[in-house]
Amino acid sequence: MKAPIISSWFGRGTVAAPPDIESAALRSDRFRLEREGEWRRLEDIIARMERGGMRRIADEDLMALPALYRTATSSLSVARETSLDAATLSYLEALVQRAWFQVYGPRMGFVRWLRGFLLGGWSRAVRALWLDICIALFVMVAGTIVGWLLVAQDEAWYYRLFPASPGEARVPGASREQLLEVLATEENASGLSAFAAQLFSNNSAVCILAFALGFAFGIPSLLLLVHNMALLGALLWLYDGQGIMVELAAWLSVHGTTELFGILLSGAAGLHIGRAMAFPGKLPVLDAAGAAGRRAAVVMVGVVIMMIVAAVLEAFPRQLVEGTQNRFMIGGTMLLFWLSYFFLYRPAPPAESGAA
């Protein structure tokens, strides 16, 4: 046995001298010995790329990488036709596969992706879902109306939508003062931030659920939207009965414009996947679902960010800001901000956009 080749683990581009080429009896082994140095150099570069990104690779190694990769692929196809050395063949197959993962690997890490996402990628993805957004919006409006009408016809529906918990002031028959009290501001911000964190995990769970349920052809996503909006419709009806619907709308709009927009987007994202699976068009179902899933996933990352914003708004300004007008102003500003960010902000897409 020869000593293990330690130099190739540590040294840059240095490889142990292979046995004398002339001593090999077989032509295929001579072929291998002539190219072995390049294979080992490629393996060494690949191993260093796998360990720690690009920074530790010398420029000349990086320049050599495509050529070395092509050498290895052509060696493999030649070896498959001329060599019966199983060990060399499987080594080359593994080497080319590893090199392929590096040469054709993800172009960017998470941080760079996040920057591109905030600067245009997000709004592009949202615009790509416009049809699903329209459908989801229609369903949400319909859900609100359904909720209103249901409760208006029969008050028992209210308790079905909101299972009564003791101490809950928001029930049919509550007085105007009781209802207004819920909308009042807290005295100070203590305890609200923990409340925000809790709200955030609750809301994002609903959104991720709406997205994931799209898997079943999008129908559960729509049902979830209808259910959530029926709650809103019932609440609106309750406050309308006492003539304070505007106050409620203002109170809700502070965070609601952001939160409902987020729920709208996640429902649309779920619907997008469901639609691609139900009507895959010319693609195979799996490919269609994959393409739609990747588009929808971008939107979902954005939804999680929107939920963070909504939770912060819900915990602080909504409880601290007094006055219908001020509340409407915050909510309206947020809505305007999101709308213009998604539909007016259109930076040119990066030239080498691999997302499709």
Partner 1 sequence: MSRKPAAPPADRRARIMITPEGLALPVTIAPRASRAGALIIDVMIIVTGLIIFQMVMQWIAGGLLDSTGFDLEGGETGAFEFLIILFALVVFVTWYGYFLVQELGPRGATLGKRIVGIRVAARGGARLTPEAVIARNLLRDIEIFYPLITLVVLLVMANTGQDIGILGWVAAGWFALFLLFPFFNHDSLRAGDIVAGTWVVDRPRTKLAEVLSTQGAATANGASEVTGARYDFGEAELSVYGEKELQTLERMLRDAQPDALKAVHAAICRKIGWDPGAGDERAFLEAFYAQLRAKLEGDMRFGKRKADKHS
- Identify residues 139-178 at the interface with partner 1 (CB under 8 A): none
HEC profile of the chain: CCCCCCHHHHCCCCCCCCCCHHHCCCHHHHHHHHHHHHHHHHHHHHHHHHHHCCCCCCHHHHHHHHHHHHHHHHHHHHHHHHCCCHHHHHHHHHHHHHHHHHHCCCCCCHHHHHHHHHHHHHHHHHHHCHHHHHHHHHHHHHHHHHHHHHHHHCCHHHHHHCCCCCCCCCCCCCCHHHHHHHHCCCCCCCCHHHHHHHHHHHHHHHHHHHHHHHHCCCHHHHHHHHHHHHHHHHHHHHHHHCCCHHHHHHHHHHHHHHHHHHHHHHHHHHHHHHHHHHCCCCCCHHHHHHHHHHHHHHHHHHHHHHHHHHHHHHHCHHHHCCCHHHHHHHHHHHHHHHHHHHHHCCCCCCCCCCCC
Residue with smaller CB distance to partner 1, 151 or 207: 207
| Identified binder of partner 1 from the candidate list 76, 129, 133, 222, rule CB under 8 A | 76
| Identified binder of partner 1 from the candidate list 83, 123, 203, 221, rule CB under 8 A | 83
Give yes or no for residue 40 binding partner 1 (CB under 8 A). yes
Give yes or no for residue 11 binding partner 1 (CB under 8 A). no
- Identify residues 295-334 at the interface with partner 1 (CB under 8 A): 295-298, 300-301
Stretch that binds partner 1, among 72-80, 155-163, 170-178, 234-242 (CB under 8 A): 72-80
- We find the least distance from the C-beta atom of residue 329 to partner 1, in angstroms, to be 26
- Identify residues 208-237 at the interface with partner 1 (CB under 8 A): 208-209, 211-213, 215
Residue with smaller CB distance to partner 1, 19 or 323: 19
Residue with smaller CB distance to partner 1, 24 or 142: 24
- We find the least distance from the C-beta atom of residue 245 to partner 1, in angstroms, to be 34
Phi, psi angle pair for 292, to nearest 5°: -65, -40
Residue with smaller CB distance to partner 1, 235 or 273: 273
Give yes or no for residue 239 binding partner 1 (CB under 8 A). no
Give yes or no for residue 39 binding partner 1 (CB under 8 A). yes
Give yes or no for residue 282 binding partner 1 (CB under 8 A). no
Give yes or no for residue 183 binding partner 1 (CB under 8 A). no
Give yes or no for residue 279 binding partner 1 (CB under 8 A). no
Give yes or no for residue 94 binding partner 1 (CB under 8 A). yes
Query: What is the distance between the alpha carbons of residues 12 and 31, in angstroms, rounded to a whole number?
Result: 24
- We find the least distance from the C-beta atom of residue 347 to partner 1, in angstroms, to be 18
Phi, psi angle pair for 243, to nearest 5°: 70, 25
Stretch that binds partner 1, among 75-83, 134-142, 226-234, 321-329 (CB under 8 A): 75-83
Q: Is 71 exposed, middle or buried (0-12, 13-18, 19+ CB in 10 A)?
A: middle
- We find the least distance from the C-beta atom of residue 345 to partner 1, in angstroms, to be 20
Query: What is the distance between the alpha carbons of residues 312 and 316, in angstroms, rounded to a whole number?
Result: 6
On whether the CB atoms of residues 183 and 246 are closer than 8 A, the answer is no
| Identified binder of partner 1 from the candidate list 3, 6, 86, 351, rule CB under 8 A | 86
Q: Is 94 exposed, middle or buried (0-12, 13-18, 19+ CB in 10 A)?
A: exposed
- Identify residues 100-129 at the interface with partner 1 (CB under 8 A): 100-102, 104-110, 113
Residue with smaller CB distance to partner 1, 76 or 235: 76
| Number of residues located near partner 1, criterion CB under 8 A | 83
- We find the least distance from the C-beta atom of residue 137 to partner 1, in angstroms, to be 23
Residue with smaller CB distance to partner 1, 176 or 294: 294
Give yes or no for residue 350 binding partner 1 (CB under 8 A). no
Give yes or no for residue 251 binding partner 1 (CB under 8 A). no
| Identified binder of partner 1 from the candidate list 191, 323, 347, 349, rule CB under 8 A | 191
